[in-house]
Amino acid sequence: MITSVESLLKQLIQEGEYFKHNDDLLISWYQKIRADSGKRVSQELESLYGGFFANSVGQAFVAAYEVALQRLTGVDTLEGVASFCVTENKSTHPASMQSSLSFDDGCYRVSGKKDFVTLAGCAEKLFVAVSFGLSETGRSKIKLVEVDVNAAGVKVQLLPDLPFVSDVSHGVVSFDSVIVDQANIFSGDGYSDYVKPFRWIEDINVFMSVAAYLFKLSLVFKWPVEARVEIMSLLTSLSNLQQMDADNPVGHVVMFELAAALDQWLAKNDEAWSKVPDEFVVGWKRDLALLRVAARARKARYENAIAVLDLI
């Protein structure tokens, strides 16, 4: 079992087996790579490992997303894909959450709708953030609940493919008085303990996985040595960032700077794509937008962090 990023990078370079599990089908590829990574590397390195052996940005994203969910919840996502269900009315704020958890006739029930659920078309487990009454200050109390996608009352409606990472499905998920076991209601505050930390964990893991995919391409297609060294350094920094808590302002400053560094690396090495077959180039140009999805939230966390640290 490899537990250090340095050892993993060294082994990946020396093995020279860059297209393991060369499967274009998203879920079957995912199941194979997670079965492999679960045996070979620690959980902190699984996103890097999955990204390195991904055949597309979409595959790299799914590997990272599922590892992030497992790290957040402690629920095994090795064999079955899970989705995090939070967004309502284009917002993840507690005040926007109309989906609810109630206790009626001796049963806990989930009702409501989530408007934009990643991997809705293939998820087996749904982690749903719901309102559960009001706090003493009159604000919604949020709980996180695990729901089986096949439970009575769950309905999934797929949305049109996004213009990037189109192999990753998204959808609307409705819950019509879905009965859940008390054991599947997570302890603690659903927002501060799960929703907010997930954005941090997901951001790190997605960047690490996509950067590992780029590192693989730089090795396979013999990009300049400087390019390979720099992306390897970025991977090491991203991996080490996982040791910081989600509420550590230093971590948010560093993450913002690492994201900027990856942008600079991409701009600096734009000409190197001329060495890459068209199938990879077309896919990359289409899917690059993935790295911009959370840019506004990342910047907000950065600005808040430098204010907290009195760096302004």
Q: What is the pLDDT of residues 229-250, one digit of tens each?
A: 999 999 999 999 998 988 899 9
8 A C-beta contact, residue 50 and residue 31:
no
The region, left, alpha or beta by phi > 0 then psi within -120 to 50, assigned to residue 299 is: alpha
Please report where in the chains the tokens 């934009």 appear, as a residue: 116
Average pLDDT of the segment spanning 59-79:
94
Amino acid found at 168:
V
State how far the Cα of 258 lies from the Cα of 263, in Å rounded to an integer: 9
Domain 82-189 indexed as CATH 3.90.950.20: no
Q: What is the pLDDT of residues 166-218, one digit of tens each?
A: 999 999 999 999 999 999 999 999 999 999 999 999 999 999 999 999 999 99
Q: What is the pLDDT of residues 97-139, one digit of tens each?
A: 999 999 988 899 999 999 999 999 999 999 999 999 877 776 7
Query: Which residues on neighbouring strands pair with residue 256, listed in sequence order?
Result: none
State pTM to two decimals: 0.94
Q: Where are the domains of the chain?
A: 82-189
CB atoms within 10 A of CB 251: 19
DSSP 244: S
Amino acid found at 106:
G
pLDDT grade, residue 24 (50/70/90)? Answer: low
State how far the Cα of 132 lies from the Cα of 169, in Å rounded to an integer: 29
